[in-house]
Structure 1
């Protein structure tokens, strides 16, 4: 049985360009903090990657601080002693988990999953996920925060929606390499130059004094290569094709199971993401059934140590407990084919009918 991977929001396939860059970086022996030729060679790889990321993201005027991933990037931003943090009710756990650790106020969202007006002030931080990892719903990157700095989670957006950060209001931006075809375990926080942001990890003073510890040269090289490739792919129209396949998937499922709810269907969404709600059929059961049938999907964010539970995001959007526990996320990638999404829709619909028959 040939398996079909439809969980790209959890992690994307490693790009060939990233793999090649990482293999090359493995042969660079020096520590980037060493002053000899070998150290300078390693430092050169790190700085070249920093420049490539700035170009790929349109991030001129930002300090790019390399981290172990978006969770650490969020921690670096959120631990900076803000007088108040306002975070949307649909933030990723990497941000939402700070609600008990800082002066936190939750920003409600509407049925469409979007944040409305925000009343904040200088010295405060407003955390908003640019693209929700479960529903794909997009927030306004130009959100007016009344002079407060924003922390913007770009994890799901990079490589899927065009963005140039230098065109947007100043903000802290967090990214994670493995979401756009880079390696796992590396990410970055992009900080507007001149922003006072104390270190979370102290020690040798690497990363402009904001993140001590020897840089992950291999991972950083892979991340930059993946970003370059993802942006080239985006410019070539790959996401438009993926969006067409997502629409084909939803049309096929709607034809076979018209009671299915497509969360965020009437909102701006990531082109690759479909969140299906089928009340009465638990998301966990759907994931296991489809896994046995050869399809990898998820019941929400994959960053909760394998836990499967009712979606906090859907609850915040006004869905009841039954609906929130009956959702799955199907997320497509560059290698996904039309045949694969049609096979998924056919198999999923057959599984649903079998479940209904057993429950009758």
Structure 2
């Protein structure tokens, strides 16, 4: 299997797995217990918290959660009632959450994006005004890799007196998290850590109403933490810090290989300048993506967000940048990173292009 779906999830780093094993096999104490075993587990959790915090801005605290979906829900719902402003290309964890608030008579503004996937700043200027309780913006889009102008949005949010919540799931560990953010949601399994754990970074001075009740173990978030998951997350974050330049160089090399190898029939969706290069979302007019994926079952790639797979809907992100329904449905996403080899990527692209060519030839014969 050639794995090219890094935006959906990343392979677990062997080092993170090894760090987790003792806490899964031998050390089962509750980190919130006061006996010696519990204190040892607590120390492991706090060390992991520091490893995660090292990749985040100063002047805030890291609260472990079950994942970025919980973090985003908590941050949006936990702020004082008021207007919410977000972007049309956000993850469903944001759009569905603000949609639920809209049904509760909270005013919600969803900003449009331009054809390159970047937010329409004129619309943002009109919408982000006093009375807004939170501005929500994804740092790196999970479907098309576009990097939003977080600093510019933060300036508008500051003027309005609203915090900026950043969904940094795809950018955490790969680029510097902007200091201007007030809340940051992240997830372990997108940085070669385990599934089932994420975090919310909260700037000092910001208070959120709890989303969960029943113990307040994390100072605003209730629930017993898993030392194994925390340790795996922390170890993965530490590896991201150690391998920052190496991973970035490798991704750039893979991006150049992929874009040079693809023929002129393939178009890149979204900005090619303001973009994370480990995400290559491309389309070819007339492509039958379902057939392509069936023909290439030993290559793992995506037709869009994993969270929307099986829904029957085309990508809301691709529609938001102005693609037609047919264009959206003829797009695929290739995600690559640390463990992708050049040989694997070359083989995958060659086979994808050959299968797409075969479709066109078969279509021409049938016509």
TM-score (norm 1): 0.92
The 2-side partners of 1:182 and 1:190 are apart by 18
- 2:294 matched to which residue of 1? 288
1:266 aligns with 2:275: no
**Counterparts of 1:114-193 in structure 2 under 5 Å?**
114-117=118-121, 118=124, 119-121=128-130, 123-142=132-151, 143=153, 144-147=155-158, 148-161=162-175, 163-165=176-178, 168-193=179-204
The 1-side partners of 2:217 and 2:112 are apart by 38
| Maintained 8 Å contact 1:122/1:146 | no
The 2-side partners of 1:128 and 1:332 are apart by 23
Query: In the superposition, relative to structure 1, how do residues 82 and 261 fare at CA in structure 2: closer, same or farther (>3 Å)?
Result: farther
DSSP-derived class of the 1:152 partner: strand
Encode CA deviations 1:13-63: one digit per residue, 9 max, x unaligned.
1012211221122222221221111111111111111111111x1432212
Aligned-residue CA RMSD (Å): 1.6
Deviation at 1:305, TM superposition (A): 5.6
| Maintained 8 Å contact 1:8/1:179 | yes
Among 333, 340, 345, the residue aligned to 1:341:
345
Encode CA deviations 1:49-92: one digit per residue, 9 max, x unaligned.
1111111x143221211111011111111112430111100001
- 2:243 matched to which residue of 1? 233
- 2:357 matched to which residue of 1? 353
Among 223, 226, 230, the residue aligned to 2:233:
223
DSSP-derived class of the 1:145 partner: helix
- 1:69 matched to which residue of 2? 67
**Counterparts of 1:27-42 in structure 2 under 5 Å?**
27-42=26-41
The 2-side partners of 1:270 and 1:85 are apart by 27
The 1-side partners of 2:22 and 2:131 are apart by 45
Among 263, 275, 285, the residue aligned to 1:279:
285
- 2:214 matched to which residue of 1? 203
Structure 1 stretch 129-138 or stretch 146-155: which is displaced more? 146-155
Among 300, 320, 326, the residue aligned to 1:322:
326
Encode CA deviations 1:202-248: one digit per residue, 9 max, x unaligned.
0111101x11110122111100100110121113x322221221221
Deviation at 1:121, TM superposition (A): 2.9
| Maintained 8 Å contact 2:85/2:132 | no
DSSP-derived class of the 1:221 partner: helix
Deviation at 1:265, TM superposition (A): 4.6
DSSP-derived class of the 2:184 partner: strand
Number of residue pairs aligned between Structure 1 and Structure 2: 347
The 1-side partners of 2:332 and 2:206 are apart by 39
Encode CA deviations 1:291-346: one digit per residue, 9 max, x unaligned.
2xx21101111123644531110110111111111111000121212211211121
The 2-side partners of 1:187 and 1:130 are apart by 16
